[in-house]
Amino acid sequence: MDSQMQAERLVAFQEGLRALGYVEGRNIAIEYRWAEGRFDRLPGLASELVALQVDVIVTAAPPAVRAAQRATSTIPIVITAHDPVGMGFVGSLAHPGGNITGLVFQDSELSAKRLDLLRQAIPNLTRVAVLWNKEGGGVNALRAVEDAARTLGLQVIALEVREPGDFAVAIASAKSSGAQGLIQLASPFITKNRAILLELLSANRLPASCELREYVVEGCLMTYSASLNELFRGMASYVDRFLKGADPANPALEQPREFEFLITLMTARSLGLVIPSSLLVQTTDRIE
């Protein structure tokens, strides 16, 4: 997550706190720690917060959640993440069973929806590439998309990226394999390197459905996603409960109620795509 995205999510979280009567510097103190895209720093940062004996840890994205989980089993950890059950963060959504809870979006379900919407946007789509990273949606999300593709009669080309140099290889492989579109699964690593991905998608004229609004603003064709600002705003209610003494093992994880479907019409035109009116009426926003 880059600095602008961090700032937006932080503002949303602070708004959530203020709505509950918390004012930073008056009746709540917040210790901030940023890894600045370096996941190797996360364990040390988590340990720092534990050493400060904070009352609650708030974090997002699988690598950060994992670092906090390993650093403490007693301090409540409030998260925004996808597939926390599959990643081993909680026992179940209804009964987390440990010290982790919060808000969750199932990227496997969202990615399957993105696939269907991309199919509606691209006439005669038969083969689609899926770009994934193990620290993001991971194997579970990939399998969900593969299952959805079979139902829709589509062939899948799975492309894993681990290093920045993998993006060029992946997109070249997608094109040489005859992919007519691409689904990008949720991943902090891909988000960090999205400028590379978006440049390659544009250069190779490959329509894509990406995980977040920011990708679409910067050139990806479309997204269907949970509103992360709303999720971060909602994290404040969990903080409030724990500051008032709630047991972290009890509160169930909540799923989002608001979703965004965005299309970049400029990108569609550059790709020579005419988006059907039946699809446009489903959008929550369009970028001209």
The C-alpha angle with vertex 107 and arms to 217 and 206, in degrees rounded to 5, equals 45
Domains and CATH numbers, the chain: 3-105+227-257 (3.40.50.2300), 107-225+260-287 (3.40.50.2300)
Pairing between β-strand 259-264 and β-strand 222-226 as defined by DSSP bridges: antiparallel
Pairing between β-strand 100-104 and β-strand 155-160 as defined by DSSP bridges: unpaired
pTM, rounded to two decimals? 0.85
**How far apart (Å, rounded) are the C-alpha atoms in residues 8 and 29?**
19
Tens-digit pLDDT string for the chain (288 aa): 566 778 888 999 999 999 999 999 999 999 999 988 788 999 999 999 999 999 999 998 888 999 999 999 999 999 988 888 888 899 888 988 899 999 988 777 888 899 999 999 998 899 999 999 987 767 888 888 999 999 999 999 999 999 999 999 999 999 999 999 999 998 889 998 999 999 999 999 999 999 989 999 999 999 999 888 888 999 999 999 999 999 878 789 998 888 899 999 999 999 999 999 999 999 998 888
DSSP state of 221: S
**How far apart (Å, rounded) are the C-alpha atoms in residues 244 and 238?**
10
Q: Is 52 helix (H, G, I), strand (E, B) or coil?
A: coil
